Structure 1
Amino acid sequence: MGELAEDLFLRLSPELVEEVFFRLPPDEPACLVHASAVCKPWRRILADLGFRRRYYKFHGTPPVLGLFQQGDWLFREGARFVRTSALFPAQRDRPCWFAMDCRHGRALLASLGTTCHLMVLDSVTGHQRLVVSPCNRPVSFSAAVLCAAQGCDHHGCQGGHFRLAVVTTYQQHRVTSGWLYSSETRLWSELTSVHHPNVRCPYNLGAPSVLVGDALYFNVGGIVECQLGALRLSMLEKPVDGNGRLSMSHNPIDGIGTLMVKEDGRLGFAAVVDVTNLTLWLCETGPVGAIGWAKLRVIDLNLRRCSQHVNSALALGGRSVHALAITGVAEGTQIIFVRAHVGSYMVDLKSGRVRPVDAYGRKFFPYASFCIPAMEAGCTGQGQ
């Protein structure tokens, strides 16, 4: 096979071979490894840094390579990583840490003791950095990580400077406060606080965030907008159904829903409001900011077929499998994660594809990054 492939390579231009390699799926790094093992000329192409940059640009959005899971169906605490790609480096469980966020090739974990520590982790290289939080753990605590480089395409920026945002809510005082950290200055900047006397803020640890332009949005009671440039917080109301409220079922997570970013870059919201269907909204904005929510569509998740492929003692046979809650969103994509009676599922809202995920976490933080395994060129002579 190696001799035949090398003979084929000599008959084709390197540019044409690159075009073939560009189409190898980024969510399966094993394909690149197998291609590099065929012959030395192929390995030289795949080991080239220029090829890797062009490969990232060709695919654009980094693939989801795994899930940081906060707790599981047995309500065990701590952060656990579930790989969705076979060759992605294994991650050890961290029972004393909580998953808080994943973005721009970084994961953010928190250790909530007398002093709150935050860990910024590059899961591809294993590099980690600890930062002391500016506040002790309140009733509601959320944090986010993002790349600090201006104009970065976030295809391979894990090693650069980053920013952290922390948002806390004290139910008794009905006040939400925030801080912003820069790894370049190693300093925290305090954001203006916002009062919200009419918003119910239950216990919430690690509410997922989404990044839209220069603003982070957290789903904590209401929707907290963190304007990074202005260092200012503000509140948005959640979308409502026809009855004037989000429908609440026996599981309180259902009515909370989750924030997401639509394909056009605008803020969206999704919730399982009647146990069987997923409802999507889009935030409408005006000259002075958000003015309301428009309902986009209702999706029947139809998880029954997928449940037949899940090896679980809780399988429900031919009966309907209802989604209980949205447990995560892959930012920059139209992929969400939902929990049902028989397990968890990854749902592609664009294609309608639904597939089971081997995890039972209460919250998922999808880790998205390009991962091309390290390769040596092997030789320098053409055709050697």
Structure 2
Amino acid sequence: MSFYTAVSYRAFRRRYRRFHGAPPLLGFFHDFDDNIRFVPTMTAASPFRQLALDWASWAHDCRHGRLLLQHKDSSDFIVWDPITDAREVVPDPGLPSGIHEKLSCDSFCVVVVCSGGPFRVVFVGSDYCLGDTWAYIYSSETRAPTRVPHYEYVQSEQRAALVGDEAYFMLSTRNRILKLHLGEHHLSTFEPPSLDDEGLIRDYCALMGSEESGSLLLASIVKVSSSSLYMWSKKVRPVHHEGWVRCRRIQLESIIVPIDNSASRLPIVIGFVEGVGDVIITTKSGIFVLEVKSERVRKVFEGVSLGAFLPFTSFYTPGTVVLDLLPYNLFCLYINISDNLFLTGQEEI
């Protein structure tokens, strides 16, 4: 049996990710001045040539080792594997007129969903005049979009959360969460957690799905007498009749300093590191990654992120070339294959 045959078996993939756990965080893709930059979190230099990103103007999402980019010279989108430089065009799914000039505004959200091989791209946005929220689901297998209408506004600055075949978005009103069932093409809403006597949820919070527990996680920083990071969980699979449970509260003053406690300068949660659950926090002095289990913090970026700041996780080691010899599908599977979603006609791993 050849090496390539051995590593292509599903049993090998299961054992590999069980042994190694979640892939490490290599860095962040960051929008800056109409360009995309890679910010490494390791000591080695960036493994991605900047030239490879010159054709893209905006990064919308990054999951399972693939990046969803907007093309500079057309209305198309590109699903890009940074390690192999493989690209697949996602043609304009027929978005409402003029939306391509507003993709960076807070009425639009894009998420790429894949786990190696076939993938789906979800476009969600709102028409403020009509008060209508719409969703398009593009499949790389059928190469056709499906439109799903709804009625509320969507907050686009935060990434969507994925649990099974469901995607979750924060609505711009901050008092509802939008659930998109990708298999049934159905939209519904439900309430986020309340803080009761401890105050209201701040304008910025982040959602993350936990495939292992079938739960939806929400993190937000709230100023009571001091700044604290709150985390809640809600069981959503196989059903989500259970309520929200507060699972963590972390005081930030002792671990992120200095903190200006004025309301306008509180730290803001801008995302999670997928597969690990670490929280990404931005402050006036930079961007930090908070390791929730240990409550340790590391600074990953100097300055304030005004655009997307997308974590990239992979088992790829900068400076090595061995992965360049492996099959393309194996790259994606190495990076994150726990969210084995939407593989129409493909056996579950």
Class of the TM-score when normalised by the shorter of the 2 chains:
0.7 to 0.9
CA–CA separation in structure 1 for the residues paired with 2:171 and 2:61: 14
The reply to whether residue 118 of structure 1 matches residue 77 of structure 2 is: yes
Q: For the structure 1 residues 302 and 273, does the alpha-carbon distance in structure 2 shift closer, same or farther, using more than 3 Å as the test?
A: same
Which amino acid in 2 is paired with 1:110?
Q
Cα offsets for 1:328-379 (capped at 9, x unmatched): 2112212111011211111111221211112542342111122153239xxx
Give the CA deviation at 1:301. Answer: 2.6
Cα offsets for 1:165-184 (capped at 9, x unmatched): 11111222222111111112
Contact residue 215 and residue 236 of structure 2 kept, 8 A: no
Give the CA deviation at 1:50. Answer: 7.6
Partner of 1:367, secondary structure, is strand
Cα offsets for 1:286-311 (capped at 9, x unmatched): 9974564232232113465x65xxxx
Tell me what 1:42 maps to: none
Q: For the structure 1 residues 298 and 95, does the alpha-carbon distance in structure 2 shift closer, same or farther, using more than 3 Å as the test?
A: farther
The reply to whether residue 258 of structure 1 matches residue 216 of structure 2 is: no
Partner of 2:233, secondary structure, is strand
The reply to whether residue 79 of structure 1 matches residue 36 of structure 2 is: yes
Written as runs of structure 1 = structure 2, the 5 A alignment for 1:214-229 is: 214-221=165-172, 222-229=176-183
Cα offsets for 1:44-101 (capped at 9, x unmatched): x9xx948985544411322221111234xxxx34432211232651242559522211
Contact residue 214 and residue 238 of structure 2 kept, 8 A: no
The reply to whether residue 143 of structure 1 matches residue 110 of structure 2 is: yes
Partner of 1:97, secondary structure, is strand
Which amino acid in 1 is paired with 2:244?
W
Q: Among residues 342, 361, 372, which one is paired with 2:305 in the alignment?
A: 361
Partner of 2:322, secondary structure, is coil
Q: Among residues 22, 39, 49, which one is paired with 1:61 in the alignment?
A: 22
The reply to whether residue 234 of structure 1 matches residue 194 of structure 2 is: no
Partner of 1:101, secondary structure, is strand
Partner of 2:244, secondary structure, is strand
Structure 1 unmatched runs, 5+: 1-44, 148-153, 249-254, 308-315, 377-384
Give the CA deviation at 1:116. Answer: 3.3
Which amino acid in 2 is paired with 1:256?
Y
CA–CA separation in structure 2 for the residues paired with 1:207 and 1:319: 23
Partner of 2:19, secondary structure, is helix
Written as runs of structure 1 = structure 2, the 5 A alignment for 1:363-382 is: 363-372=308-317, 373-375=320-322
CA–CA separation in structure 1 for the residues paired with 2:177 and 2:70: 22
The reply to whether residue 327 of structure 1 matches residue 270 of structure 2 is: yes
Q: For the structure 1 residues 239 and 110, does the alpha-carbon distance in structure 2 shift closer, same or farther, using more than 3 Å as the test?
A: farther
Q: For the structure 1 residues 176 and 320, does the alpha-carbon distance in structure 2 shift closer, same or farther, using more than 3 Å as the test?
A: closer
Tell me what 1:352 maps to: 295
CA–CA separation in structure 1 for the residues paired with 2:140 and 2:268: 35
CA RMSD of aligned residues (A): 3.5
The reply to whether residue 209 of structure 1 matches residue 163 of structure 2 is: no
Partner of 2:196, secondary structure, is coil
Give the CA deviation at 1:324. Answer: 1.7
Q: For the structure 1 residues 79 and 283, does the alpha-carbon distance in structure 2 shift closer, same or farther, using more than 3 Å as the test?
A: same
Which amino acid in 2 is paired with 1:165?
V
CA–CA separation in structure 2 for the residues paired with 1:288 and 1:106: 29
Tell me what 2:86 maps to: 127
CA–CA separation in structure 1 for the residues paired with 2:238 and 2:84: 44
CA–CA separation in structure 2 for the residues paired with 1:207 and 1:215: 16
Which amino acid in 1 is paired with 2:216?
L
Tell me what 1:3 maps to: none
Larger Rg computed on CA atoms: 1
Paired positions, count? 295
Which amino acid in 2 is paired with 1:143?
V
Contact residue 100 and residue 143 of structure 1 kept, 8 A: yes
Q: Among residues 26, 48, 56, which one is paired with 1:90 in the alignment?
A: 48
Q: Among residues 161, 172, 176, which one is paired with 2:133 in the alignment?
A: 176
The reply to whether residue 108 of structure 1 matches residue 56 of structure 2 is: no
Give the CA deviation at 1:117. Answer: 2.3
CA–CA separation in structure 1 for the residues paired with 2:288 and 2:183: 36
Cα offsets for 1:233-258 (capped at 9, x unmatched): 1122232222597344xxxxxx2311
Structure 2 unmatched runs, 5+: 324-349
CA–CA separation in structure 2 for the residues paired with 1:83 and 1:286: 35
Contact residue 323 and residue 339 of structure 1 kept, 8 A: no
Contact residue 143 and residue 165 of structure 1 kept, 8 A: yes
Q: For the structure 1 residues 133 and 219, does the alpha-carbon distance in structure 2 shift closer, same or farther, using more than 3 Å as the test?
A: farther
Q: Among residues 190, 213, 216, which one is paired with 1:267 in the alignment?
A: 216
When the two structures are superposed, what TM-score results if normalisation uses the length of structure 2?
0.72
CA–CA separation in structure 2 for the residues paired with 1:257 and 1:325: 8
When the two structures are superposed, what TM-score results if normalisation uses the length of structure 1?
0.66
Q: For the structure 1 residues 286 and 102, does the alpha-carbon distance in structure 2 shift closer, same or farther, using more than 3 Å as the test?
A: closer
CA–CA separation in structure 2 for the residues paired with 1:231 and 1:283: 22
Tell me what 1:40 maps to: none
